[in-house]
Chains A and B, each alone.
Chain A
């Protein structure tokens, strides 16, 4: 009798161990799935584009002639765009999060706003482009300048920044603000001196990650109407501009006219990937540096 149960247990042990191995294998596969395609993309892009990357390409002006085409204009355009997007989203995004988490009374209005923010995060980016075209480019008559593009991109990433900031604020232990109120601090003093410093790593991580989304986004700018050929460098947020992903888009399409454009597009992808990598690395460093354990 005793022997029998022992055998059953052993038999079960085998299936359990097998199941254990299989599940490990399945999860490993899913982990490598993304990695595999990333590797394919990288190999393809690098082999196609690395030959086109040189000093002249990085610092030169745009051109219809592949041998003298450069992407400094697109790099500067991306830079100016970020100069609009970063402050606008930081201010409005963190402001919204503070209001929702610290001031607003939990009720119908807050849950209404909350639901809408979550919904906005799922709206396709091209819809933001149509919104930007109607409001900033046409109604406010800004034209297709950096400011209009930047405000459109800000709208696009605001929901992400708001949600990330809310999470960061919510993660702060209650006793910190309680103690602050306890020694007589006002709400604003508490936010300013306790909440924001403690939530900063989380907020910055969210903001930087959403900025890298804005850098790579094309659809809203296609709608706003970024010129296919724009040679002068943008010098301020009131200038017309082009950005790295738009250049990739146009060069890929025009590869049917000039086959060397495919290499230029690949080279631009490399530049864009390096930019994104630097941004994401910054996000990680910022998080690690300022992370505190309460």
Chain B
């Protein structure tokens, strides 16, 4: 019994010590960590550009899952090459869900968005006194994907595509679109209401007409990729990036806007490209108050704009015109 009592005492003592240690000890180690890791960086950075100051703190980004790969890539490059002391955190709850975290007291610093901010969201920002700046970061082509074994519907007109997703489109089977196509039910899918891609599709492509209630709406793009890859009669829409990384599983529908079918590709979804009718800009919205208060947020925003076109292509986006980039940068540099 003596041994046990001793052991119990030791365990309780150890836990107490741990709780007590958590606050103080960990803060020290953290400082040591950042100091130790910063020193070599400091030297190299100082050798290259003497005027760069070392920043710290965090930059919190949430929002669109479509824009996420691009923003995550930029965040990582920034932390490796620019400011190692700054922690840039990127989440992707979806554009609308992200705006809910952006438009609150002490909300996120950036909200990635695959559609423009809505009037009611802008009104909410005004009410809270949050100054919001829209940063257009890239161009994305809304891509319709079908199963690899689907050898009939690889080319469609915008009207045909829209009719599949409309409540009163009178299309249930492929044969309803073209009598020569199979007499089989179409399984239409897409991202759900949390996503800006859904809203862009509903507002700009469907022109706010009711969507067919049979459309299978999903939270995750990976789910859509897998569903279409396994379903011969599946068709789904999402950003070009999710298609370009899954070309071995899916094929894109070539859209005939009147001058023959156009496949979405980096050059066709570019500014004034042949796919322009289904191309949309994607954004990140900056909390300007945060950018003024926190130097790391402003610095990161400038970094994003300076490097956005460098990383757009590899993550499946088309670049935006350089003049637009420079305009935004001069705005950001004016923030103090």
Contact = CB atoms under 8 A, between A and B. Distances in A.
A236 B76 contact: no
Contacts of A258: 245
A226 B90 CA distance: 9
B8 A196 contact: yes
A231 B27 contact: no
Interface of B: 1, 4-5, 7-8, 15, 18-19, 22-23, 26-27, 29-30, 33, 58, 60, 62, 68-69, 72-73, 75-76, 79, 87-93, 101, 106, 220-222, 225-226, 241-242, 245-246
Interface string A73-100: 0000000100110110011000000000
A290 B4 CA distance: 8
B195 to A, nearest CB: 14
A257 interface: yes
Given A91-B15, A255-B222, A63 B30 contact: no
B90 A229 contact: yes
Given A141-B106, A240-B58, 20 more contacts: A64-B73, A83-B18, A84-B22, A87-B15, A91-B15, A194-B1, A200-B8, A227-B89, A229-B72, A229-B90, A233-B33, A235-B30, A236-B30, A237-B22, A238-B23, A238-B27, A239-B30, A240-B89, A254-B222, A256-B221
Interface of A: 63-65, 80, 83-84, 86-87, 90-91, 141, 192-194, 196-198, 200, 225-233, 235-240, 252-259, 290
A287 to B, nearest CB: 14
Nearest to A204: B11
Contacts of A239: 30
A243 to B, nearest CB: 14
Given A193-B5, A228-B72, A236 B15 contact: no
Contacts of A231: 75-76, 79, 87-88
A227 B19 CA distance: 26
A273 to B, nearest CB: 23
Contacts of A193: 1, 5
Nearest to B249: A256
Contacts of A237: 22-23, 26
Given A90-B15, A290-B4, A64 B72 contact: yes
A65 B76 CA distance: 9
Nearest to B245: A257
A247 to B, nearest CB: 14
Q: Which 7 A-B pairs have the closest CB atoms?
A: A236-B26, A235-B30, A197-B4, A256-B222, A227-B89, A229-B90, A256-B225
A235 B72 contact: no
Contact of B4 (A198, A229, A233): A198
Contacts of B22: 83-84, 236-237
A230 B72 CA distance: 9
Contact of A229 (B23, B89, B101, B241): B89
